[in-house]
Amino acid sequence: MPVKKRKKDLNLMENLYIPEIAKGLALTFKTMFKPKVTMEYPEVKFQPPASYRGRPVLVQEESGVERCVACGLCSRVCPALAIEVRASETELEKERYPEKFEINMLRCIFCGFCEEVCPEEAIVMSKDYELVFTDREDAIYGKDKLLVPVANLKDRLEFLRNFK
Amino acid sequence: MPKITIDGKELEFKQGQTIIEAAKQGGIDIPHFCWHSSLSVSGNCRICLVEVEKLPKLVIACSTLAADGMVVQTASQKTLDARNAVMEFILINHPLDCPICDEAGECKLQDYAYEHSVGESRFVEEKNHKDKRVQLGPRIMFDGERCISCSRCIRFSDEIAGKNQLTFVKRGDRVTITTFPGESFDNNYTLNTVDICPVGALTSADFRFKSRVWEMSATDSVCVGCSRGCNTEVWVRDNKIQRLTPRHNEAVNSHWMCDYGRLNTFKFVNDETRVDGPSIRREGQLIKVSWDEALNLAHDRLREFKTSEIAFIGSAFATAEDNYLFARLAKHMGVHNIDFARHIAHGDFDNLLLLEDKTPNSLGAELAGIKPEHGGLSFDEIMEAVKIKKIKALYILEDDLAGLGEEYAAALGKLDLLIVHAVNYNKTTDYADVVLPSAAFAEKNGIFVNFAGTAQRLKPATTTLETDRALDGMSMSRWDVFGTKFDRWANGSRYDARPSWRIVSMLSQKFGLKLKFQMAEEVFRSLSEHNKHFEGLDYDNIGRKGALVKNISLPVPEKIK
């Protein structure tokens, strides 16, 4: 393809400057009367749709127990090796529960594989996108930070049932 | 030799072999649940159905004798259809609880369902419910729903362990396994049933839920529980040993190992009593010091005594390499009082694997040069001499003499100098003036010689401070491969310990003996050059199955069942 030659200098109209200003201002005034699209974050929070993949969280049943049975599939499928699970035995019917469940948010790439592979619908991607930490240790989320009541995750669970 | 054609491949077989055996020998794997090469044939799972030409119906490969000229199809449409149907039947009542089941990842049913079944079931009724979490014995948990009634565990306890403790009860799809009334499934070989269970019906109470199998690395090793030297695999996660499983070696332990060896021979490696870094005794307290300081003190103090006042105690728990260099050092110093302690538990043996000698390497220690020479004292004589203060300094390699009994402990209290190589703090280290931390069996390369003279290799499964999984070519799990120092899970506990042969070689330099070796393999090469018993042996030809030591006559061990 022949390379289009770039004009060396501004032409007369451009050199005059005033018409260009007028053109620019015309656009400005036109936009002033259009509806606003800018969100004033952080005063106004973005409410993501159900399909949004925020940080992965563990579903906590109404009884207060996590759904997770510590099968380790999320840990195995995680391409970034962000998840560490250590299982232990429980008296509950599910027999097995995660004694330790840690996600290293510095490793997590929000791919959602953990959610996809989970046989219990116990780990889901939340709408939480505000992740701030000041050191590496802070970035490792344990069960205290990961457990989210099932009531807060209804959107996502419904989305998964419809589209997964 | 008669010939059989399986899948178009002409294979030779011995008269009396079944189709499945002939196929296995020829490298063709016919799916099977209930068949096991060391157990009798029961033929109840029906998954090994194959098509044999000129026979009207499919036959089970595990109990049909191979015949000359027989033509077998293991992958014809008819066979595949039958296999799928059998899988569908077995899966009717099998719960879909793989996420919870410990067997997942090494489950035959899971593998075959993936390989051979159609992927869906036409069974819409409710599955059969049976007892779950039944404690069949002190070490065995049973899940009735997962059981596919292959009867391997029943046949194993009957035929191999020689204890008829398990049986089927009820009929049809209600059939389940239980112990005889009033009996507990408690013989010394119960955990082998966990290994041979093709599903997760039998699980180990000890290993239960500790780790998924794919999260661990497996390393070939040898059990240190007794002088049988059962071949094992050491399963490691986060640099911590999670379990031991037997490794097949027909000449030594077949497919089996005892519960005692499986549960009691690895926990000390990650125990909190591990010796971490060398220490010396100052004002009655053991104080951590640098390697150099500890070795210098050991050297200086040993120099204070006449050679007749010193005794070296080798160890049947240490490798041949450790003992070899230890003996070399004794010889160099002119110490003739060198022997090792035998740990014989009289009467504690059985007719399958367990032996009275509770050390893994007593023959190896002796052959590597740990025996009194030139009028030196034997072990019992050394201890007598210690009591009457004729021997004032003792250098012990990885053994807990004080743990042998009160009188030994009292004797050690009379010593002027006690240098100990120790893996864990024990009663002997309570008396020690210098404690040198030695690497445990799972942390080093080395050779053990079992009671029958088979030299077998140990490989490192866990790392110490000075070893590195990747650089030292150790087996690695996915987590080991990709872990960084910032990942908590990659930082299992690592101890400042070294193989005894390396400690001895470092000490030997101070005595002017140049035992300069970089690797255990070099030590063994030197041993095989200088010692007629190890002539011609090296790490490669010992390999995974072991090799017999030379120039020695030993009773040939009975064949394992």
User: Region A47-66: what's the mean pLDDT?
Assistant: 95
With an 8 Å Cβ cutoff, is A139 touching chain B? no
Are residues B201 and A79 in contact, defined by beta-carbon separation less than 8 angstroms? no
Nearest 5°: CA angle at B501, between B498 and B507?
90
Contact between B209 and A70 using a beta-carbon 8 Å cutoff: yes
For residue A3, pLDDT beyond 80? no
Residues in A closer than 8 angstroms to B98, CB to CB, are 71, 119
Whether residue A42 has a cis bond before it, omega within 30° of 0:
yes
Is B450 domain-assigned?
Answer: no
Distance of alpha carbon B291 from alpha carbon B504, whole angstroms: 12
Are residues A126 and A148 in contact, defined by beta-carbon separation less than 8 angstroms? yes
Select from B107, B207, B209 the residue whose CB has the most chain A CBs within 10 Å, as the one to mutate to test that interface: B209
User: Which ranges of B461-499 does DSSP label H, i.e. alpha helix?
Assistant: 478-482
For residue B66, pLDDT beyond 70? yes
Is B557 domain-assigned?
Answer: no
Is B459 domain-assigned?
Answer: no
Contact between B488 and A84 using a beta-carbon 8 Å cutoff: yes
Same structural domain for residues B75 and B205?
no
A89 Cα to chain B: minimum distance (Å): 7
Same structural domain for residues B241 and B318?
no
pLDDT of residue B190: 96
Same structural domain for residues B201 and B300?
no
Distance of alpha carbon B436 from alpha carbon B391, whole angstroms: 21
Strand order in the sheet with A140-141: A83-89, A96-104, A140-141
**How far lies B289's CA from each of B276, B279, B286, B292, B302, in Å?**
11, 5, 9, 8, 18
Least confident residue range of A141-145, A146-150, B165-169, B480-484: B480-484
Same structural domain for residues B249 and B171?
yes
Select from A66, A68, A71, A94 the residue whose CB has the most chain B CBs within 10 Å, as the one to mutate to test that interface: A71
pLDDT of residue B561: 64
Is B405 domain-assigned?
Answer: yes
Same structural domain for residues B286 and B167?
no
Q: How much of chain B, in percent, has pLDDT values that exceed 90?
A: 90
User: Region B207-220: what's the mean pLDDT?
Assistant: 95
Residues in B closer than 8 angstroms to A136, CB to CB, are 486
pLDDT of residue A48: 94
Q: Which domains does chain A have, with CATH numbers?
A: 56-163 (3.30.70.3270)
What are the E-state strand segments in chain A? 56-60, 83-89, 96-104, 123-125, 140-141, 147-149
Residues in B closer than 8 angstroms to A73, CB to CB, are 99
pLDDT of residue B485: 83
Residues in B closer than 8 angstroms to A72, CB to CB, are 212, 214-215
B483 Cα to chain A: minimum distance (Å): 8
Domain edge (last residue) among B270, B293, B315: B270
A72 Cα to chain B: minimum distance (Å): 7
Place of tokens 């020690």: B432
Contact between A72 and B478 using a beta-carbon 8 Å cutoff: no
Q: How much of chain B, in percent, has pLDDT values that exceed 70?
A: 99
A135 Cα to chain B: minimum distance (Å): 11
Span B95-106, pLDDT tens digits: 999 999 999 999
Is B129 domain-assigned?
Answer: yes
A59 Cα to chain B: minimum distance (Å): 17
pLDDT of residue B488: 82
Is B466 domain-assigned?
Answer: no
Same structural domain for residues B503 and B374?
yes
With an 8 Å Cβ cutoff, is A84 touching chain B? yes
Q: A11 or B518, which is more confident?
A: B518
pLDDT of residue B282: 93
Residues in A closer than 8 angstroms to B487, CB to CB, are 81, 104, 107
For residue B224, pLDDT beyond 80? yes
C-alpha closest to that of B273 among B423, B69, B60: B423
Span B494-511, pLDDT tens digits: 999 999 999 999 999 999
pLDDT of residue B120: 82
For residue B189, what are the contacts with CB-CB under 8 A and spacing of at least 6? B156, B157, B160, B161, B256, B258, B259, B352, B353
Least confident residue range of A10-24, A59-73, A116-130, B88-102: A10-24
pLDDT of residue A1: 66
Is B471 domain-assigned?
Answer: no
Distance of alpha carbon B360 from alpha carbon B357, whole angstroms: 8
Distance of alpha carbon B213 from alpha carbon B192, whole angstroms: 17
Same structural domain for residues B338 and B405?
yes
CATH number, residue B11: 3.10.20.740
With an 8 Å Cβ cutoff, is A87 touching chain B? yes
Contact between A102 and B488 using a beta-carbon 8 Å cutoff: yes
3-state secondary structure of A80: coil
pLDDT of residue A2: 73
Same structural domain for residues B290 and B384?
yes
Select from B132, B212, B482 the Cβ nearest to the Cβ of A81: B482
Domain edge (last residue) among B250, B270, B290: B270
Domain edge (last residue) among B227, B246, B270: B270
Same structural domain for residues B235 and B128?
yes
Domain that holds residue B540: 279-442+497-548
Is B346 domain-assigned?
Answer: yes
With an 8 Å Cβ cutoff, is A95 touching chain B? yes
Contact between B209 and A89 using a beta-carbon 8 Å cutoff: yes
Are residues A78 and A62 in contact, defined by beta-carbon separation less than 8 angstroms? no
Residues in B closer than 8 angstroms to A81, CB to CB, are 478-479, 482-483, 487
Place of tokens 């042969």: B501
Distance of alpha carbon B334 from alpha carbon B342, whole angstroms: 24
Select from A88, A94, A136 the Cβ nearest to the Cβ of B100: A94
CATH number, residue B195: 3.30.70.20
Predicted model pTM: 0.92
Contact between B209 and A84 using a beta-carbon 8 Å cutoff: no
Span A75-133, pLDDT tens digits: 999 999 999 999 999 999 999 999 999 999 999 999 999 999 999 999 999 999 999 99
The number of domains in chain B is 3
For residue B429, pLDDT beyond 90? yes
A122: closest chain B residue by CA: B99
B210 Cα to chain A: minimum distance (Å): 6
Same structural domain for residues B250 and B290?
no
B143: closest chain A residue by CA: A95
Please, what is the average pLDDT of chain A?
92
Distance of alpha carbon B490 from alpha carbon B481, whole angstroms: 9
CATH number, residue B425: 3.40.50.740
Select from B99, B132, B486 the Cβ nearest to the Cβ of A71: B99
In A32-71, the residues whose Cβ lies within 8 Å of chain B are 69-71
Span B172-204, pLDDT tens digits: 889 999 999 999 999 999 999 999 999 999 999
Residues in A closer than 8 angstroms to B100, CB to CB, are 69, 71, 94-96
For residue B297, what are the contacts with CB-CB under 8 A and spacing of at least 6? B280, B289, B433, B434
Span B289-343, pLDDT tens digits: 999 999 999 999 999 999 999 999 999 999 999 999 999 999 999 999 999 999 9
Same structural domain for residues B36 and B145?
no
Distance of alpha carbon B139 from alpha carbon B243, whole angstroms: 13
User: Region B417-440: what's the mean pLDDT?
Assistant: 96
B361-373 core/surface letters (b: 16 or more CB in 10 A; e: else)? bbbbbbbbbbbbe
pLDDT of residue B354: 94
Residues in B closer than 8 angstroms to A95, CB to CB, are 100, 132-133, 209
Residues in A closer than 8 angstroms to B478, CB to CB, are 76, 81
Largest CA distance in chain B: 88
Same structural domain for residues B234 and B313?
no
For CA atoms B93, B95, B101, B106, give the dihedral sign. Answer: positive
